[in-house]
A and B are shown apart, each in its own frame.
Chain A
Amino acid sequence: MSLFDHRISDIHELLHKKELTVTDLVDESYKRIQSVEGKVDAFLHLTEEAARKKAAELDSKVAANELSGSLFGIPVGIKDNIVTKGVRTTCASKLLENFEPIHNATVVNQLMDAQAVTIGKLNMDEFAMGSSNENSGFKPTRNPWDLDRVPGGSSGGSAASVAAGEVFFSLGSDTGGSIREPASFCGVVGMKPTYGRVSRFGLVAFASSLDQIGPITRTVEDNAFVLQAISGHDKMDSTSANVDVPHFSAGLNEGVKGLRIAVPKEYLGEGVSTEVREQVMQSLKTLEGLGATWEEVSLPHSKYATAAYYLLASSEASANLARFDGIRYGVRVEEDNLIETYKKSRSQGFGDEVKRRIMLGTFALSSGYYDAYYKKAQKVRTLIKQDFEEVFNKFDVIIGPTAPTTAFKIGEKVNDPLTMYATDILTIPVNLAGVPAISVPSGLAGGLPVGLQIIGKFFDEATIYRVAHAFEQATNFNELKPKL
């Protein structure tokens, strides 16, 4: 058994009783990394020296009975698009190979305030664009359940490192499913909070109106714990919401009796594999057995979400990524004049998927096409958001699969962008609407994890956690672990 099979509350009890040290926890991380990282490739860089120093510092606090901080001593991995002061942050792009930020993201400061210990920075699809981690500019991460398969993306390293027991928890970011899809593929718990719940300051922007940081953990309770530590308004991010943050785990054990669940027929239709559909039906039975009721509903504009998303996200990306020009930071390829220097630096620094999305976005925003593509997609976004609002007038949560299939093989979809984009059909609508959603393990199909997606109302992560916790307690699917 690994120390990381415990919950954060158990770990804190052991630390209090002095039956465990923070150094033990950090050792556990690096030992596990040493034994499995060669197979999984979840990390881009490790911060072992700093982690050991921090562990010693925290252990002396324990000795002095000064144990405080909600994540005290807990080893964390951070997705490499979240900036860390003095620690390389590359977004898995060759263009930022040597970039060392001069400040911390707000979430990183919050983790430090909570006394978590950073183990390293995690691999991802370049600039968070992808669903398989194959778009990393450095190396693909592998799925701990089957090393020939993808871990999902773009937070593939974040999900794989938790599933492989290399870190206790991780942070990822989710623009169109980038926390939930890899959590589903790797059999861990991944939350995309309400847009605005968590500060984006220091998250390298992909699509600013959709991006949101969230936790990946082994249990629902720990997930609520971590979200608690990183939530709240931040004056450095004017799109972070100035709303109260409830105590996410307060109602965790209240059960689901009387809960009204909506199941969109579009989420169980074409493109969703039979085994995934069966798992969802089974999960609904479990929740029914716990006292919830469910009804089939329609989110009629779901089928348009992927098209609208790729236009909007790529348009925002084309503007956001204009800053990478090889002048103030990043790798420069010097030419005779400025324009050629921009072009060479960007063309050599960015990978194919990033270029493809910049091109699509630039096209959609260009003169003559703006109304037909960009504005049209924004209007469709309104219709998708209204679909959710209508269902939430009558129901507490929406439930469906997280991904249409289990993890696919490395190389299987890499040459066909549209097939790859279809992986996100069930997660994208949530980002367009801005509502929160979690993926929790709902068992295995063919030896691979299947994720159940629970979608909630604006700023109602607490209800999502309550449902997810009741499900987890009834099934214990979170205890299934890959054999590595």
Chain B
Amino acid sequence: MERISKEQVKHVANLARLEFSEKEIELFAKQLDDIISYAEQLNELDTENVEPTSHVLDVKNVLREDEVKPSLDQKDVMKNAPDHEDGQFKVPSVLE
């Protein structure tokens, strides 16, 4: 059974902010389908009463005092920016 259609690949690509050629979409649909069908072996296991593990250490919220400290230098922050102006990141238009 085909689990992942080309339409689904396009939908997920949009969510992930990626774009692909038609040829790539075909390849990804097949490869993702293989990986997902492989992953479906997990359904052999009854996990009804099993708690999920998101983290191996028993760490709860780690809190600290909210103290005012010097922040990063603006020049440093802009150092790797592809485009900036007046100490701000410059981006293409967001609204039409």
Contact = CB atoms under 8 A, between A and B. Distances in A.
Contacts of B53: 378-379, 381-382, 385
Interface in B68-88: 72, 76-77, 79-83
B76 to A, nearest CB: 4
B89 A359 contact: no
A266 B12 CA distance: 35
Interface in B23-76: 28, 31-32, 34-36, 38-39, 41-45, 47, 50-57, 59, 62, 64, 72, 76
B45 A304 contact: yes
Contacts of A394: none
A307 B6 CA distance: 23
A350 B59 CA distance: 33
Contacts of A381: 52-53
A98 B62 CA distance: 34
B18 A332 contact: no
Nearest to A422: B38
B57 A377 contact: no
B80 A99 contact: yes
B1 interface: no
Given A330-B82, A343-B17, A338 B91 contact: yes
A418 interface: yes
A383 interface: yes
B52 A347 contact: no
A337 B57 CA distance: 43
A363 B45 contact: no
Interface string A318-329: 100010011111
B82 A327 contact: yes
B35 A417 contact: yes
Nearest to A378: B52
A340 B59 CA distance: 39
A186 B94 CA distance: 50
Contacts of A241: 57, 59
A332 B77 CA distance: 16
Contacts, number: 158
Contacts of A332: 82-83
A380 B45 contact: yes
A381 B55 CA distance: 10
A373 B35 CA distance: 12
B91 A347 contact: no
B15 A362 contact: yes
B47 A380 contact: yes
A9 to B, nearest CB: 33
Given A327-B89, A338-B91, A346 B18 contact: yes
Contacts of B83: 332, 334
A431 to B, nearest CB: 9
Given A100-B79, A337-B92, A195 B56 contact: yes
Contact of B32 (A334, A356, A366, A383): A356
Contacts of B92: 334-338, 340-341
Interface in A258-317: 301, 303-304, 307-308, 310-311
Contacts of A377: 39, 42
B12 A337 contact: no
A359 B29 CA distance: 10
Which of B32, B44, B50, B77 is packed against the most chain A CB atoms within 10 Å? Answer: B50
A235 B52 contact: no
A307 B38 contact: yes
A351 B47 CA distance: 35
Contacts of B80: 98-100, 102, 328-330
Contact of B55 (A239, A301, A336, A375): A239
Contacts of A359: 9, 12-13, 16, 18, 28, 32
Q: Which 6 A-B pairs have the closest CB atoms?
A: A434-B56, A378-B52, A329-B80, A332-B82, A238-B62, A379-B47
Interface of A: 98-100, 102, 195-196, 209, 235, 238-239, 241, 301, 303-304, 307-308, 310-311, 318, 322, 325-332, 334-344, 346-347, 350, 355-356, 358-360, 362-363, 366, 373, 375-383, 385, 417-418, 433-434
14 contacts: A209-B54, A238-B59, A239-B55, A310-B35, A328-B77, A334-B82, A343-B17, A346-B16, A362-B12, A363-B12, A363-B32, A417-B34, A417-B35, A434-B57
Given A235-B64, A360-B35, A377-B39, 7 more contacts: A241-B59, A308-B42, A332-B83, A363-B36, A379-B50, A417-B31, A417-B35
